[in-house]
Amino acid sequence: MELKKLFLKANNELEYGEVKVKSRRVVCKKCQKQIPVYKIRKNDFVCPECGHYFPVRARRRILMLTDKRSFIEHDRDLESINILRFPDYDEKLSLAKERSRENEGVICGVAAIGGYRACIFAMDANFMMGSMGAIVGEKITRLFEYATSMSLPVIGVTVSGGARMQEGMISLMQMSKVSAAVKRHSNNGNLYIALLTNPTTGGVDASFAMLGDITLAEPGARVGFAGPRVIEKSLNQELPKDFQKAERVLECGFVDLIVPRSRQKETLTAILRLHS
């Protein structure tokens, strides 16, 4: 008889640490059903009942797409400042840092994907809706410049409401700044894969999000420039139900492939293998 069988296991979760708490639940916005958190995590943050895609933090996204313990972060200490002295911007930055536990709205670095080395950046909707300010543009630009110097492909995961209004023209300048870095990266024969997630809108959609050599998207992701309500009021007519959805954008030729979350790493690995 094994020695460990002589001892009884603790009969509660606090004493017996190996038991995972499975009582915590969240309500799916689409099907309105209460789903245990562990089931959502196990299913790549997709509702197992209706297939609704839950938002994913940038750091979690990178872990899902890259090989284990291969990610090395770049420029983590860069932070935005209230250069225009915009009212309440300092407070909003502090709140965004607290909510997202990040210094800025994008995480950049180098990792391996399926054994292939690549640069990767992921935007974080928890930091002021992934808005693009001067530091977001600077971090992505630096990543493309590093990838160009090292002849590495770039994987970009976008989620954003657009340019950051609190930084005015400075935020709009990031559109051309990052686009120029993407062009230099491309001119050197390097690959850029954009993965559009919900939502990818505004100045990000109008610049580097749509400049990928290969453009992928998650199912149901909203992709567009202005919001549907703004467009509807401008046109003074009702918009189609699938307006700005990834499936419709695919039909219009702006997206190459819609990839379910469970197959994204596999798809990226296949593309990197073809272009290695």
Structure tokens at 206: 């109008």
64 and 45 within one domain: no
* CB contact burial 82-102 (16+ within 10 A = b; e otherwise): eeeeeeebeeebeebbeebeb
In a domain, 10, yes or no: no
Q: Is residue 213 part of a domain?
A: yes
CATH number at 252 reads: 3.90.226.10
* Together in a domain, 70 and 47: no
State how far the alpha carbon of 198 is from the alpha carbons of 18, 53, 201, in Å.
35, 9, 9
Reference 196, options 158, 154, 253; nearest CA is 158
Residue 1 lies in a domain: no
- Do 182 and 245 sit in the same domain of this protein? yes
Contact 37, 25 (CB under 8 A): yes
Q: Percent of the chain scored above 90 by pLDDT?
A: 83
| Shared domain check, 261 and 230 | yes
Give the domain extent around 160.
Answer: 56-275
Q: Are 195 and 249 within one domain?
A: yes
Three-state DSSP string of 136-200: HHHHHHHHHHHHHHHCCCEEEEEEECCECHHHHHHHHHHHHHHHHHHHHHHHCCCCEEEEEEEEE
Report yes or no on 151 lying in a domain.
yes
Residues 31 and 116 in one domain: no
Nearest alpha carbon to residue 54 among 39, 64, 40: 40
pLDDT tens for residues 196-218? 999 999 999 999 999 999 999 99
Q: Which amino acid is at 33?
A: K
pLDDT averages per 10-residue partition of the chain, 276 residues: 46 41 79 92 93 94 97 96 95 96 96 98 96 97 98 98 94 97 98 97 96 97 89 86 92 96 97 94
- Is residue 43 a part of any domain in this protein? yes
Domain contains 221: yes
Q: Are residues 98 and 216 in the same domain?
A: yes
Q: Give the tens place of pLDDT for each residue, 152-184.
A: 999 999 999 999 999 999 999 999 999 999 999
Whether pTM exceeds 0.85: yes
Interval 139-157: pLDDT, tens: 999 999 999 999 999 999 9
Do 40 and 67 lie in a common domain? Answer: no
Residue 139 lies in a domain: yes
Final residue of a domain: which of 33, 54, 75? 54
- Same-domain check for residues 128 and 141: yes
Total tally of structural domains belonging to the chain: 2
Is 119 annotated as contributing to ligand binding?
Answer: no
Instruction: Give the pLDDT of residue 23.
Output: 57
Query: Would the annotation count 50 as a binding residue?
Result: yes
Indicate whether 146 and 269 sit together in one domain: yes
Q: Are strands 257-258 and 192-200 parallel, antiparallel or unpaired?
A: unpaired
| Distance between CA atoms of residues 257 and 145, nearest Å | 27
Same domain as 92, residue 34: no
CB 190 within 8 A of CB 231: no
Tell me whether residue 252 is annotated as binding. Answer: no
d(CA 69, CA 200): 28
On whether residue 167 sits in a domain, the answer given is: yes
Query: Measured between alpha carbons, how far is 77 from 72 in angstroms, rounded to an integer?
Result: 14
The reply to whether 36 and 108 lie within a common domain is no
